[in-house]
Amino acid sequence: MRLYSTNLKAEEVSFETALITGLAPDKGLYMPKQLPMFSKEELTSMKGEPYPEIAFRLLRKILAGEVDEASLRAITYDAYNYEVPLERVDGSTYIMRLDRGPTSSFKDFAARMMARLMQYYLKKENRKLRILTATSGDTGSAVADAFYGLDNIDVIVLFPRTEVSDRQRKQMTTLGKNISALSIEGKFDDCQAMVKQAFADEDLKHMNLSSANSINIGRLVPQSIYYFYAYLKLKNYPEEIVFSIPSGNFGNMMGCVLAKNMGLPVKKIVASVNENDEVPIFLDTGSYSKIEPSKNCLSNAMNVGHPSNLARLISMYGGQMDEKGYIHKAPDMEKLKQDIYSIPVTDVDTKATIKEFYEEHNILIEPHGAVGIKGLMEYRKATKDSTLAVTLETADPAKFPAEVRSVIGVEPEPPQHLKDIESRPEHMEHLSTDYGQFKAYLQKKLG
Ligand SMILES: *Cc1c(COP(=O)(O)O)cnc(C)c1O
């Protein structure tokens, strides 16, 4: 696999280089130059296989030659040791629960794979790596958990102090060992900007910094797998399927775009967002402006006013957008709109959907999943499309106890691993959004 930068000013690199460096030197995002196609026969042959086996067989072809087969098999089976349930709502609607991993967020799918792939390469070369990651809540905990205790890797997580739930914060601050947590007096976008500035800082080049955000291609590729899995559970090639994806930084949705480009018959990708509606407006009008500062919504992991992965999406459709959000070359908007439908969902509708699903279907969802469901309902209303659809639940409702309780009156029961962290001591440092202060912290900590 060869990868190019979406800014088109950096050299092509191998998968290993893209994985370890994260961001390209021209501040662009790495994208595979080519993707393999999976034929009807190949896909059909995987029907009925468990998740880790499907992940192994797909990745064996996607990452052909990058990781030896025995190691790749071991990695997928080790990473995906939990359930991926498809919950039936009605004859044409399913919820795929991506919330059964160790941190109860869909981000486990990407983080666990990326951590193990990095470890694979670092071990081979006896190298050390420092991961800097900005999180709007779930990334940090998933990344911290995925890397926890690994020998060759230190992790520093930046999170916006007031935008993460208590439980999300504790998942980052109670680990210790090679995991450090920084509470930032700002928003997710500030955290992301600080991390990006550190990567671009010549003074810090010697530190071997790497990112584990959704900008890392090592996270994106594993996020294409569950779309195949859902399809193989529910459909027979060449029947089509619709996915509704609650989106913030659009990494999850890009996984679906990759899957579609590898032969999965996806009829429509519904990218459901909260009140940060810059992408639906872009699809409607063709002109893009970020939302600064991003709006605070209930689905806090989606409070993103300028999604990094938009540059990748635009690149897939023949355009070019730089890291500041400036479009140098317009993508094929017609094709983009044919494949993707993006819709904003208000907090009021998010709550109403949680209530409706609990009362009418006896299904408990949390704010992010509710945005996905509501987006799908709106899509169906607008288009009359009744194709079988899978909407994603991206977190366990117990990660948002207050939000869920305020709507349905009961607090969701947390899984055991979330209960365990309640009583552990927290460790974190507090910083402002001042880059100089952050830089000084890194220099003191990492030398
Ligand atoms: C990160 C996250 C999202 C958004 O995913 P993106 O890839 O950033 O679009 C949705 N739901 C939850 C629970 C998340 O943690």
Domain borders along the chain are 84-105+219-408
Task: Kindly report the number of other CB atoms within 10 A of residue 447's CB atom.
Answer: 7
pLDDT tens-digit readout, 132-188:
988 876 778 888 999 998 888 999 999 999 988 888 899 999 999 999 999 999 998
HSE (side-chain half, CA atoms, 13 Å) at 226: 33
* pLDDT of 115 above 80: yes
Q: Residue 106: pLDDT band by 50, 70, 90 thresholds? A: very high
Q: Produce one character per residue of 368-393: b if its CB has 16 or more CB atoms within 10 Å, e if not.
A: bbbbbbbbbbbbbeeeebeebbbbbb
Distance between CA atoms of residues 71 and 56, nearest Å: 10
Q: Determine contact, residues 247/307, Cβ cutoff 8 Å.
A: yes
Fold of the domain built from segment(s) 84-105+219-408: Rossmann fold (3.40.50)
105 lines ligand 1 (CB under 6 A): yes
Backbone angles phi, psi at 29, to 5 degrees: -105, 140
What DSSP line would sit under 165-181, residue for residue? -HHHHHHHHS--TTEEE
Cα(119) to centroid of ligand 1, in Å? 24
pTM: 0.92
pLDDT tens-digit readout, 224-269:
999 999 999 999 999 999 999 999 999 999 999 999 999 999 999 9
134 lines ligand 1 (CB under 6 A): no
Of all residues in the chain, what percent are helix, strand and coil, respectively (each to 5)? 45, 15, 35
**Amino acid letter for position 275:** E
Q: Which atom of ligand 1 approaches the CA of 369 most closely?
A: 11
Cα(444) to centroid of ligand 1, in Å? 32
Distance between CA atoms of residues 291 and 142, nearest Å: 26
* pLDDT of 214 above 80: no
Q: Residue 333: pLDDT band by 50, 70, 90 thresholds? A: very high
30 lines ligand 1 (CB under 6 A): no
Average pLDDT over every residue of 214-228:
93
* Beta carbons within 8 Å of 287's beta carbon, 6+ residues apart: none
pLDDT tens-digit readout, 28-67:
999 999 999 999 999 999 999 999 999 999 999 999 999 9
Residue 367: per-residue pLDDT: 97
Query: CA gyration radius for the chain?
Result: 20
Distance between CA atoms of residues 153 and 127, nearest Å: 9
Distance between CA atoms of residues 76 and 57, nearest Å: 10
250 lines ligand 1 (CB under 6 A): yes
Average pLDDT over every residue of 366-379:
98
Q: Determine contact, residues 276/305, Cβ cutoff 8 Å.
A: yes
Q: How far is CA 209 from CA 16, 90, 139, 184, in A?
A: 15, 47, 17, 19
Cα(301) to centroid of ligand 1, in Å? 5
pLDDT tens-digit readout, 341-372:
999 999 999 999 999 999 999 999 999 999 99
pLDDT tens-digit readout, 282-324:
999 999 999 998 999 999 889 999 999 999 999 999 999 999 9
Cα(247) to centroid of ligand 1, in Å? 6
What DSSP line would sit under 341-369, residue for residue? EEEE--HHHHHHHHHHHHHHH-----HHH
